[in-house]
Structure 1
Amino acid sequence: MVNIRALDPSASPLDYYGNELRRLREAAGLKQQQLGDIIFCAASLIGQVETARKVPTRDFSERLDAALGTDGHFSRLVGLVLRSQLPHWFQAYAEMEAQAEYISTFQCQLVYGLLQTESYARALIGVDRPDQVDELVAARMERQRILEGEQPPALWVVLGEAVLHQEVGGREVMRKQLTHLLGFADRPWVQVQVLPFSAGAHTGMLGSFNLLRFDRDPDVIYEEGYAQGYMTANPSVIRERSVGYARLQAEALSPERSAGLITQVMEERYGKSPEPGGRAVA
């Protein structure tokens, strides 16, 4: 049955997207089934998106633009839609992350979101948000697009060694995730270091944190708690965390030795070496 639920396009980016899809589909003289046949999806999916019951993906949006001749309209709009699916308290950080010139992060438990594979992200999100996995994974993959732009931010990542050993999603998921990390070795603006267990007590034991730097705006520190994150531009906090991060970088293995440790853990725990030059694609 065709979905005919009325939408208020001003209610949310998702409602606006659905309203625009219906408007432009009808303007093209296409029924939901006809459009579905053109972009290789079910008519029910078209209806769910038009009624804001389903979050569109970037691939879906690009196919819509090609089918309807909308000159990238849906491809541009889907970024807003996916960002709106993030927890409200995280959206401000995601916006600043996308504008940062330099990103430095220490992660003691998890791979940083910008470097996660889709399967790793799906396994993580599924623990606490099993009813929102598709939407939140799509939003996380959308965040990663900043690394593919013409001027990506410089990204420096320090991972606690425990991140490599914490099995998320099973052995195959971890093999792909660690291979993905190794694949960043050929990107000069991305550096990955591992802080080994042998470092002993260190300042990062206070918890994971991200430091965003901008050319014209104050630096920002972001720390994530159990319920929500905390962001501040307080100069004294920035100074303390910046010094702490420099110490973590100094105590961590070099990027080359870190790659060696990642490879070793992958082979010993997850049973497969990466193919030369290969990396998983999120």
Structure 2
Amino acid sequence: MPQPKDLDPYADARSFYGSELRRLREAAGMSQSDLGDKAFCSGTYIGLFEMAERRPQEDMSRIFDELLGSGKHLQRLCRLARKSKVAGYFADAAELEKRARSIEEYAPMLMPGVLQTRAYATALTRGTMRRASDEEVERTVSARMERAQLFSCENGPDFWAIIHEAALRVPIGGLRAMRDQLAHLVETARAHPHAILQVLPFSVGFHPFLNTMSSLMQFVDAPPVVYTEGAYTGQLIEDAALVAQYRSAYDLARAVALSPEASLALITSAAKDYDR
């Protein structure tokens, strides 16, 4: 179980939340396990909040306030601590992504965000945020570009992406942008041995993930989770039975997809098609 550590409560909103949760818990004479038992979660989960390693949750903050008699104190702090550079529905997953030991993504129609080029990401953002200013678009795209640091991090996660062939054929941002995007996929896979790409070809037909973007994340010190995303919404799945179903479906996709080398060959061929 994570042990309490001294935080600078004024370092950021999340650290302030964690230090306040610890202060209130200790004032109530509870251990992390005691509070976890009453809140129907583990003491380890409480520890992650107190160490500022997990973004506070609104529903959990309400439960903590009720159990600790703190009014709406933690709920108000939670709203401050949950501010993020990325879309609110993705923010929790974005934080977990940084702690993951491995990330396995399935992309049905669009490139995984962590593999997108700036031109591709900009075209997507402008298409989905039609009323956004240039500054808002730039902030969104820059936040997405920062995620690519996962590949340059010394202790970055193992990354495996299965991309449906359809994503190679939809010309997001125009022909040049798509050519560069596909070339970027190949370059990333060649440059980073811990990044593996596979293509799920049209010939496979139906698959459980056919219309669902999914990301399976595993950790050294926490249970695995799944993040799924659609247009303007996303969901973090922590239920063990559901995670196991996603695990099984992903393994099936990996089994029927092209090999990594054959996949890179197909991506390279598709890139050349955009030159024609």
Aligned-partner residue type, residue 202 of structure 2: F
Cα distance in 2 between the residues matched to 1:158 and 1:104: 8
CA displacement, residues 86-135 of structure 1 (integer Å, 9 cap, x when unaligned) = 12222111000111110001000111011111111001001122422100
CA displacement, residues 46-69 of structure 1 (integer Å, 9 cap, x when unaligned) = xxxxxxxxxxxxxxxxxxxxxxxx
1:148 aligns with 2:132: no
| Structure 1 vs Structure 2 CA RMSD | 1.7
Aligned-partner residue type, residue 248 of structure 1: A
Cα distance in 1 between the residues matched to 2:99 and 2:207: 30
The offset of 1:188, in angstroms, is 1.1
1:195 aligns with 2:200: yes
1:92 aligns with 2:100: no
| Structure 1 equivalent of residue 108 of structure 2 | 108
Q: Post-superposition, which runs of at least 4 consecutive aligned residues in structure 1 deviate over 6 A? A: none
Structure 1, unmatched stretches of 5+, are: 1-9, 14-82, 273-282
1:253 aligns with 2:246: no
CA displacement, residues 71-96 of structure 1 (integer Å, 9 cap, x when unaligned) = xxxxxxxxxxxx82212222111000
The offset of 1:209, in angstroms, is 0.6
| Structure 1 equivalent of residue 223 of structure 2 | 218
| Structure 1 equivalent of residue 181 of structure 2 | 177
CA displacement, residues 235-262 of structure 1 (integer Å, 9 cap, x when unaligned) = 1111100010000001100010001111
Return 83-92 or 127-136, whichever deviates more: 83-92
Aligned-partner SS, 1:256: helix
1:242 to 247, 252, 255: 247
| Structure 1 equivalent of residue 18 of structure 2 | none
Aligned-partner residue type, residue 120 of structure 2: Y
Q: TM-score, normalised by structure 2?
A: 0.67
Cα distance in 2 between the residues matched to 1:204 and 1:86: 24
CA displacement, residues 187-230 of structure 1 (integer Å, 9 cap, x when unaligned) = 11000000000111112225121100001101000111333211
Paired residues for 1:42-61 under 5 Å: none
Aligned-partner residue type, residue 264 of structure 2: A
Cα distance in 1 between the residues matched to 2:149 and 2:127: 25
The offset of 1:148, in angstroms, is 0.9
CA displacement, residues 147-199 of structure 1 (integer Å, 9 cap, x when unaligned) = 21111110000000000000000011011100000012231100000000011
Aligned-partner SS, 1:140: helix
| Structure 2 equivalent of residue 163 of structure 1 | 167
Cα distance in 1 between the residues matched to 2:184 and 2:239: 35
Aligned-partner SS, 1:85: coil
Aligned-partner SS, 2:206: coil
Aligned-partner SS, 2:209: helix
| Structure 2 equivalent of residue 262 of structure 1 | 267
1:228 to 233, 250, 261: 233
| Structure 1 equivalent of residue 57 of structure 2 | none
Cα distance in 2 between the residues matched to 1:91 and 1:112: 16
Aligned-partner residue type, residue 126 of structure 2: G
Aligned-partner SS, 2:160: strand
Task: Give the percent of matched residue pairs that are identical in Structure 1 and Structure 2.
Answer: 34
Cα distance in 2 between the residues matched to 1:227 and 1:164: 22
| Structure 1 equivalent of residue 141 of structure 2 | 137
| Structure 2 equivalent of residue 271 of structure 1 | 275
Aligned-partner SS, 1:205: coil
Cα distance in 2 between the residues matched to 1:146 and 1:252: 24
Q: Say whether the 8 Å CA contact 2:107–2:213 is kept in structure 1.
A: yes
